[in-house]
């Protein structure tokens, strides 16, 4: 009899977990749809997802953590696309990841502007927030691949290299959120930063390719000038498509 009770309790826990996961997925899907159309409020989100007002908080803890979960979901989708693509080495994959990210910004600008406005602004009342860039683990994995493939010097700390890149990425993304740069400029700036940082620590085998990428990006940035208010001028050279510089 006791064994049956334990088995019954275990089944109930599995069902409860499955139910919570279904609600979690439904809330994330609804939140993404709403953010492509309108500002998100937790009350409206709960109504649209068909759950109680408390459920989003119970499952995610706070509005910012909901946005972090959306970002993590987006990163998982990018990992799947990156894995499905073929590249000769880890640097090529990293440049392609920048390109994929740029395509996502172009496809869902309203969603990503809302997402990053919350993530990068932070919330002083949210004690759970820790990372400046919640997607840092995604980039760290790519940098660690550079290390494994001996494309950067053995003495380079992957965490330090990733942190440096993430600061560059975050700054460029904040400028995009605030309409200071467009997606093509964003992609060129981030790719240029990666090429420049990579050259500083690259092994000889990959240096020629990084130097070529750097030259390509520098040509595209030839018209890049900061005006007095910190905005880049809209010179044609800075708006040229970046496809040739990213593989």
Tens-place pLDDT, residues 102-115:
999 999 999 999 99
**Residue closest to 224 by CA, chosen among 246, 196, 247, 192:** 192
Between vectors from CA 76 to CA 70 and to CA 77, what angle results, nearest 5°? 90
Between vectors from CA 212 to CA 210 and to CA 215, what angle results, nearest 5°? 110
Consecutive H or E run containing 65:
helix 63-84
Q: How far apart are CA 31 and CA 160, in angstroms?
A: 34
Residue owning tokens 């691949």: 145
* pTM of this structure: 0.79
Q: How far apart are CA 77 and CA 132, in angstroms?
A: 21
End-to-end CA distance of the chain: 63
Tens-place pLDDT, residues 147-201:
999 999 999 999 999 999 999 999 999 999 999 999 999 999 999 999 999 999 9
Residue owning tokens 């740029």: 102
Instruction: Write down how long the chain is.
Output: 247
Each residue's pLDDT tens digit in the chain (247 positions)?
555 555 555 554 555 556 788 899 999 999 999 999 988 899 999 999 999 999 999 999 998 899 989 988 888 899 999 999 999 999 999 999 999 999 999 999 999 999 988 887 755 555 554 444 567 889 999 999 999 999 999 999 999 999 999 999 999 999 999 999 999 999 999 999 999 999 999 999 999 999 999 999 999 988 776 666 656 655 543 444 444 344 4
Structure confidence at residue 244 (pLDDT): 39
Between vectors from CA 111 to CA 226 and to CA 118, what angle results, nearest 5°? 70
Q: How far apart are CA 69 and CA 80, in angstroms?
A: 17
Is residue 89 within 8 Å of residue 149, measured between CB atoms? yes
Q: How far apart are CA 149 and CA 142, in angstroms?
A: 11
Percent of the chain with pLDDT over 90: 62
């Amino acid at each position: 009899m006791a064994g049956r009770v334990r088995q019954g309790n275990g089944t109930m826990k599995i069902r409860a977990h499955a139910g919570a996961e279904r609600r979690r997925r439904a809330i994330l899907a609804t939140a993404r749809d709403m953010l492509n159309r309108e500002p998100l409020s937790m009350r409206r989100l709960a109504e649209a997802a068909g759950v109680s007002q408390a459920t989003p908080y119970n499952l995610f803890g706070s509005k910012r953590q909901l946005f972090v979960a959306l970002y993590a979901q987006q990163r998982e989708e990018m990992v799947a696309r990156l894995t499905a693509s073929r590249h000769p080495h880890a640097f090529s994959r990293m440049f392609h990841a920048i390109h994929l990210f740029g395509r996502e910004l172009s496809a869902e600008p309203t969603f990503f502007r809302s997402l990053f406005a919350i993530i990068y602004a932070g919330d002083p009342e949210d004690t759970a927030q820790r990372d400046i860039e919640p997607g840092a683990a995604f980039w760290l994995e790519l940098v660690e691949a550079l290390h494994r493939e001996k494309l950067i010097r053995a003495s380079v700390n992957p965490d330090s290299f990733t942190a440096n890149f993430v600061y560059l990425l975050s700054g460029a993304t904040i400028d995009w959120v605030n309409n200071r740069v467009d997606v093509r400029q964003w992609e060129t700036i981030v790719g240029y930063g990666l090429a420049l940082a990579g050259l500083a620590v690259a092994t000889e085998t990959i240096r020629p390719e990084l130097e070529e990428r750097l030259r390509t990006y520098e040509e595209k940035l030839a018209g890049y000038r900061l005006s007095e208010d910190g905005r880049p001028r809209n010179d044609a050279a800075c708006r040229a498509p970046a496809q040739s510089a990213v593989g």
